[in-house]
Structure 1
Amino acid sequence: MSALQQLAVVVVGLAGVFGLLIGSFLNVVVYRVPAGLSVVRPASSCPQCGHEIRGFDNVPVLSWLVLRGACRDCGNRISARYPLVEAATAALFSVVAGMVLARAAGSGTTLVPTIGMLVVLLYLMAITVSLALIDVDTHRLPDKIVLPAYAVLAVLLTATSAASGDWWALVRAGIGMLVLLAVYFALAVAVPGGMGMGDVKLAGVLGLVLAYLGWGPLAVGAFGGFALGAIFAIGLLAARRAKRGSGIPFGPWMLAGAWLGILCGGPLWDAYTGLIGLT
């Protein structure tokens, strides 16, 4: 294994550890933000007995296993979703880090722009996990998470373009943001109740990142959300788990489609355009 490959393994491992920590915080976000509570204060406590969770009982995944999924003080059961979110976030962060490093190695991208894109996509993954879970739980995409993402991503993408010198990517990101905002807003107006304004606001965030990566990721990511959502809805109808008109949260499918675009949007778009003779 070369020194560069060893470094990549270390970075992917560190991203996983960082994901564990972020996953623990996201559990707090998912519980408190919909309830209108601060994610900073007070410290986490058992909802049954009110005892503050000790630092050594708040180690991601490990503490839940040691405590056998129960509060140390009252024995109240702790949902398995907490360690699952932490472990899943760690795995997803590692996948993102590996993808960014592999693409940088293949394209010859220098260190600073690579770090910039890594930060962008890790941030997007963090809000992906939190928004998907909140939307499933409450059928809401809170402004407290979605709206700040515009400013955060604008700063991060501007810094990445400054490091790489690729200012067209930043212009393209702005175009993608406006396009997806317009499309989703039009759909929300045309089909009242079919799509919420939370979906419209999230569309702009996703358009910003997808278009920064290219027109292919934007096209695949946008279409992928509708395709995955439709497949899921048809599956529920076929299994008689839902009826026509049943409210199904669309945010998770928008996010899944966006990551489909990020992961393989470029090659899929190239294959499609080649198939229909556009290239």
Structure 2
Amino acid sequence: MQNYGEPQLRVEESTATITFDRPQLANRLSPRDLQVVREHINSVNAMESVLVLRFTGAGKYFCSGYDIGALASPDTAESAGAPAFGDLIDLIEAARPVTIAAVNGGVYGGATDLCLACDFRVGVPHCEMFMPAARLGLHFYRGGLERYVSRLGVDTAKRLFLAADRLDAAEMLRTGFLTEIVAADALAQRVDQLSATLCGMAPLALLGMKQALNQIARGALDAAALERAIAQAGASADLREGAAAWREKRPPVFTGR
């Protein structure tokens, strides 16, 4: 059997990109891939200079989620990958950088939750999404159910999980699954533009508010941590730099301090 590529990590200055690299298999994720993506995220979390983490797929698909064949595998290492998938998506939501899903094509199964775990989801006109859990007899994990409800609302979540409706790009945008749609040949440029905008923000405020907003969406705000983050940003050199740049009508130069 041909050995298709594992997810690839590329880091350029303040931006990191993870690319799913099994285009012949619709970029589905094997048990080994879950560990590779986890290692990539842990590496990026340790890079203070990285403010944006992007996800995209090679070829015409974004990702088709976890390898369903592994669920029925007698190999314990493979079948144990199913709950590990949910843990990985929670790790993506909690990632230190701001995250962007560059949805270059079809997104299916657990990969839909991966997109919802990202802070921004930029799609193309031909993308689509489908959640077949009920058709497979698979009961989805808690974190994914919560993200579907908090991002899309309970009625849309029921439509997708219980009726297994397939959504096209326009409906993905209308329901809030996508934050925007751009022409396919403009996707990379738009994601680069959004990344540059985010990387131009003050890191303490940017990353602190990202975490707080996600916690609020889950109804799990750490109020004490939020107060500490507010105080840290309030005493930062970046706040003084931001105020000075605003007054002097120039771009700010932030240091994350």
TM-score by shorter chain over 0.5? no
TM-score, with normalisation over the residues of structure 2? Answer: 0.28
Q: Which has the higher helix share?
A: 1
Q: Which has the larger radius of gyration?
A: 1
